[in-house]
Amino acid sequence: MKVIKKILIFILFLTSSDIIAQRRNQHLIDSLSNILKNYRSPCNTPCPGDSNKVKALIDMAFEYKSSSPDTTLLYANEALLLSQKIKWLVGEGRAYHLIGIGYQVKSDFPLALKNYSAALEIWNDLLNHSQDPAIQERKANTLNNIGIINELTGKFNEAVQYYLEGVTLYKSSGNKNRLAGNYANLGNVYSKVAIYVNSIDYYLKALKIFEEVQDSDKIGMTLENIGINYYYKKDFPAAISYYNKAFKISMERKFDELSAKTLNNIGLVYQDQKKYESSLENYFHALKLTNDPVLKANIWSNLGGIYNDLGKYDYAIQYSDSALKVSESIGDNRTIAANLANIGSAFTALKKYGDAERNLLRALSLADSSHILNEQMQIEKNLSELYIQKGDYKKAIEKYKQYTLLKDSIFNNKNDSAIMATQMQYTFDIKEAATKAEQEKKDAITKQELEKQKSLRNSIAGGAGIIVLSSVFSFFFYKRKRDAEQKQKETSLNLQVSETEMKALRSQMNPHFIFNALQSIQTFLLSNKSEDANSYLLKFSKLMRLVLENSQHGEVSLEDDIQALELYMQLESIRLTHPFTYKFHIDESVNVENDFIPPLILQPFVENAIWHGLQYKPKPGHIDIYISKKDNALYATVEDNGIGRNLSKQVAQPILHKKESLGMKLTEERLKILNELKKIKAQFQIVDLFTKENKPAGTRVELSLPIAI
């Protein structure tokens, strides 16, 4: 009989890292208390000299952040009021940051974010006037904490973006420890969404830095987290290898709690492999090292699972019951349900059906009310097996049906997670691309400004020399020549700015394109056979790679762009109730390998044809794409036989109208920049199609794209 096993995995940088970082320095607290008690202001009223008191208040607030968040809030609010009186922005920012920490520890995330946002506003204001590394680091600290809150509330995309911005700032400020911590946080996020390769990569980056600064405790925790990822990947030898390295360091450092957690995780690996003797050895060793009741309870729960598997049901009940008492004392419904299920399964095996039913039904109620689907699914199956043994086949069938429904629901949730993982990976890549483009734009603008200043200085010096050494006529001749050269330089620099604007715009276009495809994939997964899902996810992965590769270039071959567009249409066709067909009509004048166009320039037109024309058509539709070349210009036409724009506006949801305007606006902006950059006249027009009876018959978009010579 399969039973529920409560599996405890410790992601250390968001949980037990505080074992190290949050040890209070009582000597420092006593010293700060003495400073505040004996403090005498250098002025009769609050003045800049009182910044020393603000620093002491902030340091005191920091020392209490883990042990007493209310005390942190008390000192931080006093520091904030004093900073505002003496108009010291750095003190205000630090105070807001610590108030955010206080509320974060109290799990009041809205108030924490409100205060972090206030701190962030101050850091940005200060950085507008000076790129002070210390302020950059303070901003990075605030971004990091906002990232943690987003991670804790399941907003993983947002968390990654805040962490990545923090990484950039920590690199700039040179704080290696903070940089390593941010890498570890990124490892945590990617582990949670099952992108284990990325998670391991970030943990290895963190590990390298911790080894450079010789921080043994964090080296041990990082090794542990790498082992956890390998455990999730079912690479058990690699997991054991990293766990053993972490265990060796924790024992050398006499860090018993980390040693116990590591042994527990090693026990889980052996338990998964059904190597029960080795698993039991590690669990009992861990129990000797820890005094943490929560860790003990989880080890007892794991022991209950093993003894159920071994058929030693009295031991299973004994250990699960001990774990249950601790779980109930801390109100952890997940572990309460898991332990009740272990006990219920053991009673079923012992044919104590009344006790079994009572425990399993209570476990089911908790799992259901807490929306813990995995436990709920397995409990339904265990109840089905119980009722079979009791001979109550009607209830057994009902429970098995519930088990099947939950299993299907969990499969869909896993597919949602796979989509989230893919989206997060894309977000990471596009974030880097957008950051790079924005930096290039800033560099170009800065260069342009420097050139103007240099030219102005040259103008003054040159003008003075000419007045002295030559005639007024020579001066004006020089000025005209200089202005022509300056205009040429400005034109060149403007082109650089336009190019970077185009890169930034493409970085906006790509998410618009990718997320639509993600939505289509999700629809397919939720409404079709599960065994087909993987093949379509692979097709989507191919599409995503093409788009990411193409987005790195200002122009791509027609062949590459058509391939991406065709994959996109295939995926969108799956989503619709009535799948549509499509056909490319490539004129002989076009060489798809050697003729180039801006990437994704046709995609918004195809997207609108699908979302606003074919989606509402009561039968399968069709899209024709015509591409021809004439007089150094490419001509592309996207024509659909959908319901037409007017009718679409009546039946479409408001969000789709906003979506349409966004896609067209972005395309117009791209063409505008292309025209400025290449001195061409690219343009498009939309034509509504009608039948002879004047009924809507679709839409045609005509694009002309001159080729710059």
Average pLDDT over residues 555-570: 87
Distance CA 699, CA 690 (A): 9
Whether residues 95 and 188 share a domain: the answer is no
For 94-108, 148-162, 512-526, which range has the lowest pLDDT when averaged over its residues? 512-526
Domains identified in the chain, total number: 5
CATH number of domain containing 245: 1.25.40.10
Hey, how many other C-beta atoms are within 10 angstroms of the C-beta on 427? 20
Distance CA 96, CA 89 (A): 10
Residue 307 lies in a domain: yes
Average pLDDT over residues 532-560: 72
Whether residues 155 and 108 share a domain: the answer is no
Whether residues 276 and 297 share a domain: the answer is no
pLDDT band per the 50, 70, 90 thresholds, residue 655 = very low
Whether residues 598 and 623 share a domain: the answer is yes
Whether residues 611 and 697 share a domain: the answer is yes
* Chosen domain end from 375, 391, 407: 391
Residue 624 lies in a domain: yes
In contact, 213 and 176? CB cutoff 8 Å = yes
What does the CA dihedral 219, 223, 225, 227 come to, rounded to 10 degrees?
180
250 has pLDDT over 80: yes
Whether residues 174 and 122 share a domain: the answer is no
Check: pTM over 0.85? Answer yes or no: no
* Chosen domain end from 197, 214, 231: 214
Predicted pLDDT of residue 255: 85
In degrees and rounded to multiples of 5, residue 633 shows phi and psi of -145, 145
Which residues sit opposite 596 in a β-bridge?
557
For 509-518, 613-622, 685-694, which range has the lowest pLDDT when averaged over its residues? 509-518
CATH number of domain containing 60: 1.25.40
Tens of pLDDT along 277-319?
A: 999 999 999 999 988 888 898 899 999 989 988 999 999 999 9
The more confidently predicted of residues 158 and 492 is 158
Residue 180 lies in a domain: yes
Predicted pLDDT of residue 644: 85
Residue 546 lies in a domain: no
Average pLDDT over residues 29-37: 78
Residue of 120, 44, 50, 119 whose CA lies nearest to 88? 50
Residue 472 lies in a domain: no
Distance CA 93, CA 121 (A): 8
Residue 188 lies in a domain: yes
Distance CA 311, CA 351 (A): 13
% of the chain surpassing 90 pLDDT: 26
Residue 321 lies in a domain: yes
Residue 642 lies in a domain: yes
Convert 616-637 to b/e letters by CB count within 10 Å (16 or more is b): bbeeebbbbbbbebeeeebbbb
Whether residues 269 and 325 share a domain: the answer is no
Whether residues 143 and 170 share a domain: the answer is yes
Strands (E), 530-640: 556-557, 581-586, 596-597, 622-629, 633-640
Radius of gyration of the chain (CA): 32
The more confidently predicted of residues 542 and 566 is 566
Q: Which domain holds residue 203?
A: 137-214
121 has pLDDT over 50: yes
340 has pLDDT over 60: yes
Predicted pLDDT of residue 448: 60
Whether residues 122 and 160 share a domain: the answer is no
